[in-house]
A and B are shown apart, each in its own frame.
Chain A
């Protein structure tokens, strides 16, 4: 069975600081993908970044980067130079190549950026 654990229900961060959102995962599959989604208060789910299990380098997308530590089964999201608009729920998710049933999501982290 696949499982995603996000241990930070909520975080408060000062604007312009870097933020790390934790995510650990559990799977017996060797091929899998890890995803981060942002959900602002308006409710939509916005895809942020993807990391493949065989990717040798950590993924980056603008201010977002993924700190992938395969041996520790962790896939932390790093947001550099946080902005007020980064305040949202953040979800880590996983899909395995052998899993035919969509994404497995964590429970999310509520990030609040303070001015």
Chain B
């Protein structure tokens, strides 16, 4: 079984709809991240969480919210989806070893907003 799972893997929605992307991990890591990837670009950080009570905004948090329901679960919500939020979304976890920490990514969720 995969260590980091994301659901759904693909999603099509309409402008204005609220949607939630879910991430679960079995690696036992405290740190979890949400990134988005647009064509021709690298990944950009949306939100990150160092534990259940710690949520932080990343580079591009506008239009998104997150919930850390448990150590193993971190959800990303789009309150009112818009077409420019069409992207590939990744969840990641890390072992928190400072600059040395390695992030492990889920398989990604492809989101299309019409």
- Give residues in A with beta carbon < 8 Å to B: 4, 29, 31-33, 35, 37, 43-47, 50, 52-53, 91, 93, 95-97, 100-103, 105-108
If the complex has contacts A44-B107, A44-B108, A107-B42, are A101 and B59 also in contact, measured as CB distance less than 8 A? yes
Docked complex Cα distance between A97 and B106 (Å): 23
B42 touches A32 (CB 8 A): no
- Total interface residues on B, CB under 8 Å, equals 27
Tell me whether B80 is interfacial, beta carbon within 8 Å: no
Docked complex Cα distance between A102 and B103 (Å): 9
A103 touches B98 (CB 8 A): no
* Residues of chain A within 8 A of B104, CB atoms compared: 47
CB B17 to nearest CB in A, in angstroms, measures 23
Closest residue of chain B to A105 (Cβ to Cβ) is: B42
Q: Which of B33, B40, B101 contacts A33 (CB 8 A)?
A: B101
Docked complex Cα distance between A48 and B102 (Å): 10
Docked complex Cα distance between A50 and B102 (Å): 8
A47 touches B103 (CB 8 A): yes
Docked complex Cα distance between A32 and B100 (Å): 7
- Give residues in B with beta carbon < 8 Å to A: 33, 35, 40-45, 48, 56, 58-59, 88, 90, 92, 98-108, 110
A43 touches B88 (CB 8 A): yes
CB A42 to nearest CB in B, in angstroms, measures 8
* Residues of chain B within 8 A of A53, CB atoms compared: 99
CB B55 to nearest CB in A, in angstroms, measures 12
If the complex has contacts A102-B35, A102-B58, A106-B42, are A95 and B99 also in contact, measured as CB distance less than 8 A? yes
B58 touches A101 (CB 8 A): yes
B108 touches A45 (CB 8 A): yes
* Residues of chain B within 8 A of A100, CB atoms compared: 56
